[in-house]
Structure 1
Amino acid sequence: MQSREEIFIMLRDALVELFELDEEQVSLDANLYQDLEIDSIDAIDLIDHLKQLTGKKIAAEEFKAVRTVGDVVEAIYILANSTGE
């Protein structure tokens, strides 16, 4: 079971690695699309990367509603701590 803080750190590191962002840019309130300039193709790459890290299947539909880094942390937290796939 991962904490939200652990998920945030994992997500922050992934965003820095995948999209060459500065750590300081990545906060829970940062908007993925406006603040971090992530587009739909980048979002798919991020979903794939998170799937590899968590070992859980992540449907793109589950991410349509996310707008901030905090939204992603919450979605991954729920997914990572669910008993099903």
Structure 2
Amino acid sequence: MTKDIVIDKINEFLVEEFEVDQSVIKPNASLQDTLELDSLDYVDLVVVIENNFGFKVTGDDFKSITTYQDFYDLIFEKVSAK
């Protein structure tokens, strides 16, 4: 799976599941601020990642995530390692 496909898939489920406007999803934008994530939303995000990509992420995985690019990189790294 290419990085562009991973990014497209992520953006698609963020728009659908979190009802975020596609226009705010930019690589350097804050993931938490634009999605207005609370602790339950992070649980939902973990479930959506598992359903779409077939692996689990942990709270520790999110510690270094601040931007969409960080998020894309994490998911692509885990997809590539499968």
Interval of TM-score (by shorter of Structure 1 and Structure 2): 0.7 to 0.9
The number of equivalent residue pairs is: 82
Residue in 2 aligned with 1:82?
81
What TM-score do you get using the length of structure 2 for normalisation?
0.87
SS at match of 1:42: helix
Q: Work out the CA distance in 2 between the residues paired with 1:19 and 1:57.
A: 19
**Aligned positions of 1:10-25 closer than 5 A:** 10-25=9-24
Q: Work out the CA distance in 1 between the residues paired with 2:65 and 2:39.
A: 12
Residue in 2 aligned with 1:33?
32
Q: Work out the CA distance in 2 between the residues paired with 1:64 and 1:44.
A: 14
Q: Work out the CA distance in 1 between the residues paired with 2:30 and 2:79.
A: 22
Q: Counterpart of 1:19 in structure 2: which amino acid?
A: F
> How far does residue 40 in structure 1 lie from its aligned partner after superposition?
2.4
Residue in 2 aligned with 1:51?
50
SS at match of 1:8: helix
Consecutive unaligned residues in structure 1, runs of 5 or more: none
What TM-score do you get using the length of structure 1 for normalisation?
0.84
| Runs of 4+ in structure 1 over 3 Å off | none
Farther off after superposition, 66-75 or 56-65? 56-65
Q: Is the 2:29–2:67 contact (alpha carbons within 8 Å) kept by the matching residues of 1? A: yes
Two-structure CA RMSD over aligned residues (Å): 1.4
| Structure with the bigger percentage of helix | 2
Q: Work out the CA distance in 1 between the residues paired with 2:77 and 2:66.
A: 16
Q: Is the 1:28–1:69 contact (alpha carbons within 8 Å) kept by the matching residues of 2? A: yes
Percent identity, please.
27
